[in-house]
């Protein structure tokens, strides 16, 4: 087993984009805790990555404070330090605004935005105590940058993550903890998704295709790396140009 010099926790690491981030960080020799509500799948991801890095799995519900505290304590104890936190766990539930119920709103906000708040706050305490700085990378979404049908709660949670990223960057800078976000566009994470995004989306994407989880992971890995040393509080879109597209023809 390689001796890892850096350590990371990836929430929602059991599938999709999170799983790709786990694999990407492991490729850099980083010891990783795969933290997910789906403990069985998290354990499977951890055991399938066999490149010599230390990979562990741990169950967590990011909407619950005690669960988050336990997850970070256990990961820190087993990895020996905490340098990187990737806040990726999230739910993409949608509902029309006029039909959205209180508990739906609460659940999406508490999981997506609340999850980033509590995971980051608890992790930052360990990073500060470790006195070697750190990196926090939050997974936002282009739905946090512009409006989208059915996404009142989801979009608000992701817009909140972008603003929280900026404030954490300001307040944690004195501890050399850099906080950034990656905002994916439509990304193909499931086999049952169509090969191409639906036309109303694709026509606004200069690259005109789904992103791959590995492409989002590359951006997250850079933001988590020592090479990212003077960038904090920013959101990097990985979305095939979706958020910058204006006039596409003519
Ligand atoms: N797939 C896309 O097109 C897309 C686009 C923009 C942003 N995102 C964001 O990327 C992140 C990952 O999305 P994905 O497409 O890989 O989804 P996914 O459903 O494949 O993965 C999400 C993971 O988070 C875990 N999770 C959910 N709730 C949790 C909780 N309360 N506590 C702990 N773990 C929990 C799930 O078990 C799952 O393993 C999400 O934050 C999502 O909002 C995805």
pLDDT digits (tens, 9 = 90+) for 71-109: 999 999 999 999 999 999 999 999 999 999 999 999 999
Residue 63 lies in a domain: yes
What pLDDT does 250 receive?
A: 86
Residue 86 lies in a domain: yes
State pLDDT tens for residues 183-238.
999 999 998 998 888 888 888 999 999 999 999 999 999 999 999 999 999 999 99
Q: What is the largest CA-CA distance in the chain?
A: 59
| Number of domains into which the chain is organized | 1
Dist. CA 155 → ligand 1 center (Å): 14
Question: Which residue range is the domain that position 126 belongs to?
Answer: 7-238
Q: Which residues are catalytic?
A: 154
Does the pLDDT of residue 164 top 90, yes or no? yes
Residue 52 lies in a domain: yes
Crossing angle (nearest 10°) for helices 213-223 and 16-27: 50
Among protein residues, the one whose CA lies closest to atom 25 of ligand 1: 12
Residue 57 lies in a domain: yes
Residue 61 lies in a domain: yes
Residue 248 lies in a domain: no
Residue 244 lies in a domain: no
Among protein residues, the one whose CA lies closest to atom 41 of ligand 1: 90
What's the average model confidence in pLDDT over 153-167?
A: 98
From 83, 22, 86, 16, select the one nearest 54 (Cα to Cα). Answer: 22
Does the pLDDT of residue 46 top 80, yes or no? yes
Beta-carbon contacts of 3 under 8 Å, excluding residues fewer than 6 positions away, are none
The CATH number of residue 148's host domain is 3.40.50.720
Does the pLDDT of residue 4 top 70, yes or no? no
pTM over 0.85: yes
**1-10, 76-85, 118-127, 169-178: least confidently modelled range:** 1-10
**1-10, 19-28, 40-49, 154-163: least confidently modelled range:** 1-10
Phi-psi region of 85 (alpha: psi -120 to 50; beta: other; left: phi over 0): beta
Residue 250 lies in a domain: no
Q: Which residues line ligand 1 (CB under 6 A)?
A: 11-12, 14-18, 36-38, 60-63, 88-92, 111, 139, 141, 184, 186-187, 189
């Amino acid at each position: 087993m390689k001796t890892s010099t850096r350590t990371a926790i990836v929430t929602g690491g059991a599938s999709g984009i999170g799983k790709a981030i786990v694999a990407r960080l492991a490729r850099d020799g980083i010891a990783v805790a795969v933290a997910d509500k789906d403990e069985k799948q998290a354990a499977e991801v951890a055991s399938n990555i066999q490149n010599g890095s230390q990979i562990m799995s741990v169950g967590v519900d990011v909407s619950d404070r005690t669960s988050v505290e336990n997850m970070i304590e256990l990961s820190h104890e087993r990895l020996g330090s905490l340098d990187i936190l990737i806040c990726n766990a999230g739910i993409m539930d949608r509902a029309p605004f006029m039909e959205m119920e209180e508990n739906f709103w609460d659940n999406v906000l508490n999981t997506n935005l609340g999850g980033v708040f509590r995971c980051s706050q608890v992790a930052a305490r360990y990073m500060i105590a470790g006195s070697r700085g750190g990196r926090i990378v939050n997974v936002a979404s282009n739905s946090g940058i512009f409006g989208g049908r059915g996404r009142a709660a989801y979009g608000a949670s992701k817009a909140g993550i972008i603003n929280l990223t900026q404030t954490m960057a300001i307040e944690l800078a004195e501890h050399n903890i850099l906080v950034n976000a990656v905002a994916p566009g439509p990304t193909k994470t499931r086999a049952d998704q169509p090969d191409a995004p639906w036309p109303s989306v694709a026509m606004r994407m200069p690259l005109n295709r789904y992103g791959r989880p590995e492409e989002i992971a590359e951006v997250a890995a850079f933001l988590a790396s020592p090479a990212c040393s003077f960038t904090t509080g920013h959101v990097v879109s990985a979305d095939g140009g979706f958020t910058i597209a204006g006039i596409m023809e003519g």
